[in-house]
C-alpha cells in the first residue's frame, strides 16, 4: 500500500510543477496593474513606480519566478496586498468553510442520487426511471448561481422559511471555538445546540444548490452502471441460485457497479470546487472561492496563486484517495497495480 502511494505521489510532481509555472505566468498577464490599484487614483507615476519596485514587479519574470519558487519551498505563499495577511493563514482560515459546504452538498447528493439510480435501473421504464431522467436533465440544465438565486428568492424573500444569506452564522450567534473549522462539528463538540441549529439553517440553501447540481451526473452514472451489472452473467447466476432480490442487487450488482460511480464522485467533487466560487458569492459564504474572486478583482497575485495551488493539491489528494479506494472495492485493481 505504501509503495502504491509513493508511486502515485511521484507521478503528480510534474503536474504540480506545471500548475505552479502556468499560474505564475497567467497572473502576470491579467489585466490591471496591482501597483496602480493600490497606489490609488491620485497617485503620481513616481509613487506607482516606487510601489511596483517595493512589490518586486519591476524585476524580470525569470527573477520573479525564482523568488516565488524559493518562497514556496519555505512554505510561504506571500502576503495579500488587500488584507495584509499571510496567504497561508487566510487559506487555512477560509478552507474549512468551503470544505464544509462542498462535502455536505456532495453527501446530500450521494444520499439521493445513488438510491435513485439503483431504483431506476432495477425498475427500468417505470415512473422512478422517468423521474431519474427528469432530475438529471434539470440538474444539468440549471446553472448553480441561478439555482441559488432562485432558492433565495423563493424560500427567503417570498416564504421567509430560510435565514438571510449572510454567511455561515447569523449576526446574533457567536462563532464556536475552533477545533476543526467546521461549524457543525465544532458546535456539537461545544454542546452548543443553538449554534448548531443556526449553522445548519445557514447551510441548507447553499447545500441544496450544490446538491441539485451534483445529483444529475451521479444518478445517471449509477443507473448506467447498474444496468450493465444487472445484465451480466454472474447476476443471472445469483438469481438462478435463489438469492433474495436485495442481496442480488446490493451485494452482487451494486458492488461491481461502484467503480464508475466512485470515479463520478471524484469528478463531481472537483466540479463543486469550481462551482463553490459562484455559490459563495450568492450566499456571502466566507470561503476560499470568494477570497480568490476578491483577489482576482484587485489583481492581487499572491492569493490567486495560493488558491490555484491549494485546489491543485486537493485535486491530487482526491485522485490518490480514489485510486486507493479502487483497490479496496475491487481486489483485481490492487493486484494489477
- CATH number assigned to the domain comprising residue 223: 1.10.3720.10
Q: What is the DSSP string of 250-290?
A: IIIIIHHHHHHHHHHHHHHHHHHHHHHHHHHHHTT--SHHH
Shortest CA distance to 207 belongs to which of 300, 280, 265? 280
In a domain, 296, yes or no: yes
| pLDDT-derived band at 160, boundaries 50, 70, 90 | confident
Residue 249 located in a structural domain: yes
Asked, for residue 270, whether it belongs to a domain, the answer is yes
Tell me whether residue 51 is in a domain.
Answer: no
Q: Greater confidence, 28 or 221?
A: 221
> Do the domain assignments include residue 307?
yes
Exposed, middle or buried, 259 (CB in 10 Å: 0-12/13-18/19+)? middle
- Residue-level pLDDT at 2: 64
Q: What is the pLDDT of residues 200-252, one digit of tens each?
A: 998 999 999 988 888 888 888 888 888 888 888 888 888 888 888 888 888 88
Which residue's entry shows cell 495551488? 309
Percent of the chain with pLDDT over 90: 2
Domain count, the chain: 1
Is residue 2 domain-resident? no
Whether the pLDDT of residue 320 is over 70: the answer is yes
In 3D space, the residue among 223, 204, 208 whose CA is nearest the CA of residue 139 turns out to be 208
Confidence of residue 303 (pLDDT cuts 50, 70, 90): confident
pLDDT digits (tens, 9 = 90+) for 141-154: 778 888 888 989 89
Q: Residue 147 sits in which domain range?
A: 87-154+211-336
327 CB neighbour count, 10 Å cutoff: 16
| pLDDT the model gives residue 219 | 87
Per the domain annotation, does 118 fall within a domain?
Answer: yes
Residue/partner pairs of 203-206 with CB below 8 Å, 24 or more apart: 203/100, 203/101, 203/104, 203/168, 204/162, 205/148, 205/151, 205/152, 205/155, 205/156, 205/162, 205/165, 205/283, 206/101, 206/105, 206/148, 206/165, 206/279, 206/280, 206/282, 206/283, 206/285
61 has a pLDDT exceeding 80: no
Q: Is the model's pLDDT at 1 over the cut of 80?
A: no
Residue 225 lies inside a defined structural domain of this protein = yes
Amino acid at each position: 500500500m505504501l509503495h502504491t502511494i509513493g508511486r502515485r505521489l511521484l507521478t503528480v510532481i510534474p503536474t504540480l510543477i506545471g500548475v505552479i509555472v502556468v499560474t505564475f505566468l497567467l497572473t502576470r498577464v491579467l489585466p490591471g496593474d496591482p501597483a496602480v490599484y493600490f497606489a490609488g487614483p491620485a497617485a503620481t507615476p513616481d509613487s506607482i513606480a516606487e510601489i511596483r519596485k517595493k512589490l518586486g514587479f519591476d524585476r524580470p519574470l525569470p527573477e520573479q519566478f525564482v523568488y516565488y519558487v524559493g518562497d514556496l519551498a519555505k512554505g510561504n505563499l506571500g502576503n495579500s496586498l488587500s488584507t495584509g495577511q499571510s496567504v497561508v493563514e487566510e487559506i487555512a482560515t477560509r478552507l474549512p468553510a468551503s470544505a464544509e459546504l462542498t462535502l455536505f452538498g456532495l453527501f446530500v447528493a450521494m444520499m439521493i442520487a445513488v438510491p435513485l439510480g439503483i431504483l431506476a435501473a432495477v425498475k427500468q421504464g417505470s415512473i422512478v426511471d422517468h423521474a431519474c431522467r427528469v432530475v438529471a436533465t434539470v440538474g444539468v440544465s440549471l446553472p448553480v448561481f441561478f439555482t441559488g438565486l432562485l432558492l433565495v428568492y423563493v424560500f427567503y424573500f417570498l416564504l421567509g422559511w430560510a435565514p438571510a444569506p449572510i454567511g455561515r452564522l447569523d449576526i446574533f450567534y457567536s462563532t464556536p471555538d475552533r477545533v476543526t473549522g467546521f461549524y457543525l462539528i465544532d458546535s456539537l463538540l461545544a454542546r452548543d445546540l443553538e449554534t448548531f441549529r443556526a449553522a445548519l439553517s445557514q447551510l441548507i440553501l447553499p447545500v441544496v444548490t450544490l446538491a441539485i447540481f451534483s445529483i444529475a451526473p451521479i444518478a445517471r452514472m449509477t443507473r448506467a452502471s447498474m444496468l450493465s451489472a444487472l445484465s451480466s452473467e454472474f447476476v443471472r447466476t445469483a438469481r438462478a441460485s435463489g438469492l433474495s432480490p436485495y442481496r442480488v442487487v446490493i451485494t452482487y450488482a451494486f458492488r461491481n457497479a461502484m467503480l464508475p460511480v466512485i470515479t463520478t464522485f471524484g469528478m463531481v467533487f472537483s466540479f463543486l470546487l469550481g462551482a463553490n466560487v459562484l455559490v459563495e458569492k450568492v450566499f456571502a459564504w466566507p470561503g476560499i472561492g470568494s477570497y480568490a474572486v476578491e483577489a482576482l478583482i484587485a489583481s492581487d497575485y499572491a492569493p490567486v496563486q495560493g488558491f490555484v495551488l491549494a485546489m491543485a493539491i486537493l485535486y491530487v489528494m482526491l485522485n490518490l484517495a480514489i485510486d486507493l479506494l479502487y483497490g479496496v472495492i475491487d481486489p483485481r485493481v490492487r493486484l494489477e497495480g
